[in-house]
Structure 1
Amino acid sequence: MTDTPQKTSSGGLNKAHVAQFMARQGILVAFILFIIVFTMANPRFLAVDNILGVIRSSTIIGVMALGVTFVVISGNLDLSVGSMMSFSTIVVLDLHDKLGPLLAIPAMFGMTMCLGAFIGFLVGYLRLNSLIVTLGMLSAIHGLTLTYSGGKNMDIADKEGTWFDVFGQGVVFGLPVPILIFGLLALVLGLLLARTPFGRQVYAVGGNGTAATFSGIRRARVVFLCYLMSSFCVAFAGMLQASRSMGSQNTVGQGLELEVLAAVILGGASLMGGSGAIYKTVIGVLILGFIQNGLLLVGLEFYVQFVVTWVIIILAVWLDVAAKRGKLWSPIA
């Protein structure tokens, strides 16, 4: 079945086809309408510098969303990425002055991925509920971050004598380095998910874990690796955040888990598992970023973004469920 509405023999649009089209492409239709409205309200919305600024500001959310895409497709959730990003940011800033950036970066990656491995062990091998585990880890990692930092914020002492700022502030071939890192990660992880046996196993586990197990797929191992992938991306995001500001509050990632999840769902990944793609997640990240930017350009306060993000999550989940049943409305309603 195509994604465009089909006409009936009488020339009219079939209601079922329209419903299925809206269920599959409703978010994109809404995004196009947002662009039209924002451009009419403020012509600067489509300016090149604004577009690059939006993409650059979305890279941290985007990098985390790439890893969470693996987790969601495998049929699980990860609500710990926000607090884990705070942890990785604080750790790399602290170790930068103690060990230097060349050692601080791999040390931070190792510590962050240990947290991801622990979550993967609990969800994958012990079969604990991912929502409960990651919700608990959200608080636990936040407490770990405060303990590590002594409740204080972190800053790099010698900001002029380090090359660490290249990750968050550098420019190559006229493009900000964070955008290049985001694009490269999206390309590599997209190929991993779409073109490798591991990627097919992720889809199989998320689509039907029991059938995947009987097919010889080691479900626990796949889930474990998905959480390890998620923590790897979080470490990248923490490095970008630390490099961008060369200092950070110890709560810098608080609340970002909802934005990350919203971006992944907007990209078409189903909360029920088994569907989604990296390139679609990138589209979801950009949709969320441009909508938030448009709200600011039309004069709305930044805190309106929180309400809009909630509305977008509800809309995306509704359209996801509607796409599976072929109707926008429940037949029981």
Structure 2
Amino acid sequence: MAGMSKAQIGGILARQGILIAFALFIIGFTLANEKFLSADNVLSVVRSSAILGVMALGVTFVVISGNLDLSVGSMMSFSTIVVLDLHDKVGPAIAIPLMFAMTIALGALIGFLVGYLKLNSLIVTLGMLSAIHGLTLTYSGGKNMDIVDKQGTWFSVFGQGTALGIPVPIIMFLLVAAFLGLVLARTPFGRKVYAVGGNGTAATFSGIPRARTVFYCYVISAACVATAGLIQASRSMGSQNTVGQGLELEVLAAVILGGASLLGGSGTIFKTLIGVLILGFIQNGLLLVGLQFYVQFVVTWVIIILAVWLDIAAKRGKFWSTIA
């Protein structure tokens, strides 16, 4: 960096600062506990991050389109409870598509309110967070759900199964990431998402159906939440009706860590995947060095603030504004 100006160095740190911080975390955690980078621990972290990761992949579309989705935590609780309840009533082969249909319908409702009625996404999804939570409690009667015959069903394969030695949740996570990555980077719809998020007005005048694009972003997000709910239900074969509570902030943190801008128009599926792993390894490292699990909430908050600050700094080319 000898021949670089302070502004150039500041720009690089603003864009890559979180990766540098992650590298320092990795070095520190490895020195503190030699098990941190063991194969078993790495596989365990990726597996435990799969649920959060699948949700973050869908939210990436929403954020790139210039919107937010704070309802994903409550929606995941809803999908988990629904598929567990329907499993014993109609069997997994019917319960799974029914759950997907119901969850996607909720996403379509949000997409209609934000896309076609042009309501503020923060207000709509914040309201839906409470509404879906209430819907979940009403559906379950305030009770937790458990599968009665845990041994006589193939349903556990999604959360507990393995293929070629790799846990099925990791395979599902990577397959969803690969598919959505292609959709976002290689299809006309993906280009429309970037255009709408970058400049919605210009996109509209260019003939891009802005409302429809936003609508489908929320549908994709809901489909990813349903997939995460399926993995969660299959892994535990039972669930509390608040299992997804608070996950919306972790999902948003992972997406922002991956470089997606809250202003819209930028971000990739691959970087979101990296953001999910950064969050997962940092939380795992905190546990391995002996810190209590609730410290993760403080760290997640700090990471969100840091990521937003770096995002804004990257846009203006310096870490802080000279205007008071």
The two structures have a TM-score, normalised by structure 1, of: 0.97
Q: How does 1:265-304 map to 2 (within 5 A)?
A: 265-304=256-295
Aligned equivalents of 1:330 and 1:48: distance in 2? Answer: 44
Q: 2:35 corresponds to which residue? A: 44
Percent identical? 80
Q: Whole-Å Cα distance in 2 between the matches of residues 322 and 200 of structure 1?
A: 25
What's the offset of the Cα at 1:329?
1.4
In the TM superposition, what is the alpha-carbon distance from 1:14 to its structure 2 partner? 1.4
1:163 aligned partner: 154
Across the two proteins, how many residue pairs are aligned to each other? 324
Once the two structures are TM-superposed, the CA of residue 245 in structure 1 deviates from its matched residue by 0.1
The residue number in structure 2 matching 1:309 is: 300
Q: CA deviation at 1:161?
A: 0.3
- Match among 96, 105, 111 for residue 105 of structure 1: 96
Tell me what 1:255 maps to: 246
Q: CA deviation at 1:143?
A: 0.1
Secondary structure, counterpart of 1:300 in structure 2: coil
Query: 2-side partners of 1:50 and 1:153: how far apart?
Result: 30
Deviation by residue 1:273-303 (Cα, 9 ceiling, x = unmatched): 0000000000000000000000000000000
Matches within 5 A, 1:98-177: 98-177=89-168
Tell me the SS of whatever aligns to 1:45.
coil
CA distance in 1, matches of 2:299, 2:10: 24
CA apart distance, 1:331: 2.0
Report the Cα offset of residue 330 of structure 1: 1.0
Pair 1:213 & 2:198 matched: no
Distance, in Å, in 1 between the alignment partners of 2:268 and 2:236 is 31
**What is the alpha-carbon distance in structure 1 between the residues aligned to residue 54 and residue 313 of structure 2?**
28
1:332 Cα deviation (Å)? 1.7
Aligned to 2:227: 236
Q: Could you tell me which amino acid in structure 1 is paired with residue 58 of structure 2? A: G
Which residue number corresponds to residue 183 of structure 1?
Answer: 174
Letter in 2 for 1:331: T
Letter in 1 for 2:297: F
Q: Which amino acid aligns with 2:237?
A: M
Instruction: Give, in whole Å, the separation in 1 of the partners of 2:168 and 2:58.
Output: 19
Letter in 2 for 1:248: S
Instruction: Give, in whole Å, the separation in 2 of the partners of 1:157 and 1:111.
Output: 23
Matched, 1:95 2:76: no
- Per-residue CA distance 1:161-187 (angstroms, 9 max, x = gap): 000000000010010000000000000
Q: How far, CA to CA, are the matches of 1:57 and 1:42 in structure 2?
A: 19
**Of 292, 316, 321, the match for 1:325:** 316
Q: State the TM-score, normalizing by the size of structure 2.
A: 0.99
- Supply the AA of the counterpart residue of 2:217: C
Q: Structure 2: any 5+ residue segments left out of the alignment?
A: none
**Distance apart, 1:197 and its partner CA:** 0.2
Instruction: Specify the SS of the correspondent of 1:138.
Output: helix
- Distance in 2 separating the partners of 1:325 and 1:22: 13
| Root mean square deviation, CA, Å | 0.6
Q: 1:26 aligns with which of 4, 8, 17?
A: 17
**Pairwise CA distance, 1:46:** 0.3
Aligned equivalents of 1:264 and 1:156: distance in 2?
A: 33
The list of structure 1 runs, each at least 4 consecutive aligned residues, that deviate by more than 6 angstroms after superposition, is: none
Q: List gaps (5 residues or longer) in structure 1.
A: none
Distance in 2 (alpha carbons) for counterparts of 1:248 and 1:332: 50
Paired with 2:109 and 2:180, the residues of 1 have a C-alpha distance of 22
Give the Cα separation in 2 of the matches to 1:80 and 1:94. 21
